[in-house]
Amino acid sequence: MTASQPTGTGLKSISLKNLAKRVQSIPDSRTTTAAKKVEEVLDVIDPSWNESFTQEKVDELWRKYAASIQRGNPRLHSIFMNHQPKLKGKHDLVLYVKNQTQVAEIQKVRVTFLSAMKRKLRNAQLQLMVEVSTEASEGKQKAYTAVDKFKLMVEKNPVLGELKKQFGLDFE
């Protein structure tokens, strides 16, 4: 049944396709906004979109997406807050994470996230690559013991080691 066919009660049903056609045929600021909303509902990505974008725009959209998932998926929110994608070339985003678990979490929402980014950036060629960073996996380990914590502090400020020797301090 389409919007033009009446039902038995005299009411018309509404089809999103027909609504989108009607909205697109009338160039008015209100209908343009409605067309964008209908397009988002229909999840339409035009393959001809190829607008350029900057790292700053990507960072802004990244933060907004992270905020939108904060309550629903705190683990993913943490990953989004601690890692920023880097723009490589015109269409490629590379996200370096610490381990395979984070890769798996990103992969779960990759299609949804990438679709939203393509629509907002108006770029159908956008790609997201998630890689485990060798720097992050080989980086400094967290210090759990007092001795390990002291060693990290001495690396940052060598004078602490000299003070420990001078005053004969020890760990208990």
pLDDT tens-digit series, residues 104-134: 999 999 999 999 999 999 999 999 999 998 7
CATH number for region 55-138: 3.30.300.180
Q: If you average pLDDT over residues 144-160, what whole number do you get?
A: 87
83-96 b/e (C-beta count within 10 Å ≥ 16 → b): bebebeeebebebb
Mean pLDDT of the chain: 80
> Which pLDDT score, from 0 to 100, does residue 137 have?
47
Higher pLDDT, 22 or 155: 155
169 pLDDT tier (thresholds 50, 70, 90): confident
Structural domain boundaries in the chain: 14-44, 55-138, 140-172
For 135, 158, 161, the CA distances from 155, given in Å and listed in that order, are: 18, 6, 9
Mind listing the pLDDT tens digit for each residue in 58-93?
Answer: 999 999 999 999 899 899 999 999 999 999 988 899
Residue % of the chain over a pLDDT of 90: 44
61 or 33: whose pLDDT is higher? 61
Listed in sequence order, the residues at least 6 apart from 164 whose beta carbon sits closer than 8 Å to its beta carbon are: 150
pLDDT at residue 151 in the model: 87
123 token code pair: 């770029």
